[in-house]
Amino acid sequence: MLNMPKRERTNDADSDADWKGPAAKRICLCVQLERLGGRQLTDFPLEIMESIFGYARCANNLMLVNNRLKCQYIAYMLHRQRSFKHSNRNQPLITAVMKVLHHATNYAVQGGYEAHYIYNLQALLDRTCASTSIQTMNTHLRKFICHFYASLEMPLGSVLKFIRPAVDSAAAVQHRRILLTMSLLNMLKQFRFFRILSSEMKLMQWQLKVEVKGIFLVILEQFKWNASKENLSKNIQIIALIAELLLHDMLEKKFACIKNIGKFTLKYGMNNNMGTRLILRFSVVASTPIIRLLQQAIAGEIDLAVPIEMTSDMTFCARLELTKKLHKAWANSNFVLHLAKSH
């Protein structure tokens, strides 16, 4: 009889002790066997693996065991996502949520962060299954986008609150900022009343000016955020708010919301008033291949199969100014985000 090591009690919410369901003992046994050099967990038939993934409360942590198991879990979760979309194809709200999710994350997923996306996906699908209103869907969508983009700065599966960001090369950091900028451009072009006002090169900068009618994003005072890691979360939250606006635009539902981000209070929403419009001015300093990549993103012509080549000597700076245009009798408001800075 195989002598199994004694398990220590733990209060860690992600530990094996918290897994529930009929397959719990089998999961623990398989993991322990693998640690002892016995039969590999990945040697089990696909049906058993799917059962393990389905019953495990924290199945996404199995991605951390080895690369083969990670690949199997990614395939399982992608299949589950497709099944979820198909089974809810007649529900406009869920269909719209999944479309916005795709537009907000696809560039990052295709850019090498598929595992981070999958690691966060199970919780989103579970919460979405229990949701019945657009208000709760908004919350789930916004939180997922914030958690996903924040997790890109960390090792897979790390607890963001307790583990410091990994020390990455400048090229890796800039690569993520490019993906974030591309995702924002991709979401903007999905709005019904989106249009490009101008696109030109000025003083070695690519300057892009776009507008989206019928939406607004207001802050009570003008401010600036820089692209340091301390303020990156604020930029990500703005991206998540744009995703929330896109969801309502797809459903053609008016709404208004007030949200605190740090010490600032923002008001945003959609009112279908064509006199209200959000104008976004991008100023980008980058190498010619990167500018061409962003231009393809806003035109919807980018080939995601071609990897983004980044070198340490590449410069990428992206400044975004948002201006809310209201009725002529009302005052306009604007604020600035630095999506990326050169190092």
Chain segment 70-87, per-residue pLDDT in tens: 888 898 899 889 999 999
For range 36-61, the mean pLDDT: 64
In the chain, how long is the greatest CA-to-CA distance? 83
What is the CB neighbour count within 10 angstroms for residue 283?
Answer: 18
Mean pLDDT of 168-194: 91
Residue type, position 261, single letter: I
Q: What is the pTM of this model?
A: 0.81
| Spatial distance between the Cα atoms of 324 and 276, rounded to a whole number of angstroms | 7
Query: What per-residue confidence (pLDDT) applies to 32?
Result: 52
At 99 the three-state DSSP class reads helix
Higher pLDDT, 306 or 90: 90
Q: How far apart are CA 202 and CA 196, in angstroms?
A: 17
Contacts of 18 (CB under 8 A, 6+ apart): 12, 57, 58
Determine whether 184 is exposed, middle or buried from the number of CB atoms within 10 Å of its CB (0-12, 13-18, 19+): buried
* 3-state secondary structure at position 25: helix
Alpha-carbon gap, residue 147 to 163, rounded angstroms: 14
Name the least confident of 24-38, 126-140, 145-159, 170-184. Answer: 24-38
Instruction: Return the minimum-mean-pLDDT range out of 244-248, 250-254, 339-343.
Output: 339-343
| pLDDT for the residue numbered 47 | 63
Q: Report the distance separating Cα 207 and Cα 200, nearest Å.
A: 5
Q: Pseudo-torsion of CA 23, 75, 35, 153, nearest 10°?
A: -120
Average pLDDT of span 173-179 = 91
Reduced to 3 states (helix: H, G, I; strand: E, B; else coil), residue 343 is: coil
Q: For residue 218, give the nearest of 326, 136, 135, 339 by alpha carbon.
A: 326
Give mean pLDDT, residues 144-172: 77
What's the whole-number average pLDDT of the chain? 79
- E strand residue ranges, the chain: 194-202, 205-213, 215-219, 224-225, 255-261, 264-270, 277-286, 316-325, 333-340
Average pLDDT over residues 33-59: 61
Specify the pairing of strand 264-270 against strand 277-286. Answer: unpaired
Return d(Cα 84, Cα 80) in angstroms, integer.
6
Q: Choose the weakest-confidence range: 5-9, 210-214, 218-222, 265-269.
A: 5-9
**To the nearest 10°, the Cα dihedral for 265, 266, 267, 268?**
-160
pLDDT at 15: 38
Q: What is the mean pLDDT of residues 262-271?
A: 84
pLDDT, tens digit (0-9, with 9 covering 90-100), for 310-320: 776 677 899 99
What burial class does residue 263 get, using C-beta atoms within 10 Å of its C-beta: 0-12 exposed, 13-18 middle, 19+ buried?
exposed
Q: Specify whether the CB–CB gap between 231 and 298 falls below 8 A.
A: no
The pLDDT tens digits of the residues spanning 98-139 come to 999 999 999 999 999 999 999 999 889 888 877 778 989 999
Non-local (6+) Cβ contacts of 9 within 8 A are 17
Confidence of residue 38 (pLDDT cuts 50, 70, 90): very low
In whole angstroms, give the CA distance from residue 84 to residue 98: 10
The per-residue DSSP string of 233-302 comes to: HHHHHHHHHHHHHHHHHHHT--EEEEEEETTEEEEEEE---TT-EEEEEEEEEE-HHHHHHHHHHHHT--
Extract the tokens encoding 244: 């929330």
- As a whole number, mean pLDDT of residues 269-285 equals 89
Please report which confidence band the pLDDT of residue 272 belongs to, taking 50, 70 and 90 as the band edges: confident
